[in-house]
């Protein structure tokens, strides 16, 4: 009888843990970000985030993903002008993407936590400050 209660307890803990994982807002943000990336970013930066050398810069372990406010600005306003990523020069314009604040945060969280990148997640509450910072 004790074994049955013990097994039931293990099953309940496993179901609860799985439920938490599925409804964890952090995991949802990254999952949503992957879908947004597939819609707007994958054509240039590729599925693996490696971009195309000399055409579109990589997003994999570049160190260029640390500044969340800068990422918001690049996504929402686009970017032009030469940059160098991992010693390779790039000079292709990135068009602005017209997406919501939530979608912007989600795609940033996906990019900053994929392909070996590890960074703290951006919170939705940080978006207003990031947009205010864009004016500068």
- pLDDT single digits (tens) 8-24: 656 665 565 554 444 56
**Which alpha helices (H) appear in the chain, and where do they start and end?**
2-23, 25-40, 42-45, 68-77, 101-112, 127-134
pLDDT tens digit sequence for 90-118: 998 999 999 999 999 999 999 999 999 99
Return the structure tokens found at 93: 């314009």
Total-model pTM: 0.80
Reported as a pLDDT band with limits 50, 70 and 90, residue 135 is confident
Residue 55's pLDDT band, with cuts at 50, 70 and 90, is: very high
Tell me the CATH number for domain 25-134.
1.10.760.10
Q: Is the pLDDT of residue 41 over 70?
A: yes
């Amino acid at each position: 009888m004790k074994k049955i209660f013990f097994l039931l307890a293990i099953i309940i803990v496993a179901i609860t843990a799985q439920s938490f994982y599925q409804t964890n807002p952090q995991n949802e943000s990254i999952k949503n970000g992957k879908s947004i990336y597939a819609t707007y970013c994958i054509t240039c930066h590729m599925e693996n985030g490696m971009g195309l050398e000399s055409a579109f810069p990589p997003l994999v372990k570049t160190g260029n993903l640390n500044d969340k406010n800068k990422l918001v600005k690049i996504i929402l306003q686009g970017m032009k002008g030469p940059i160098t990523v991992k010693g390779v020069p790039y000079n292709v314009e990135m068009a602005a993407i017209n997406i919501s604040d939530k979608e912007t945060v989600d795609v940033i969280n996906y990019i900053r936590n994929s392909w070996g990148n590890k960074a703290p997640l951006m919170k939705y509450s940080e978006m207003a400050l990031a947009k205010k910072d864009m004016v500068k």
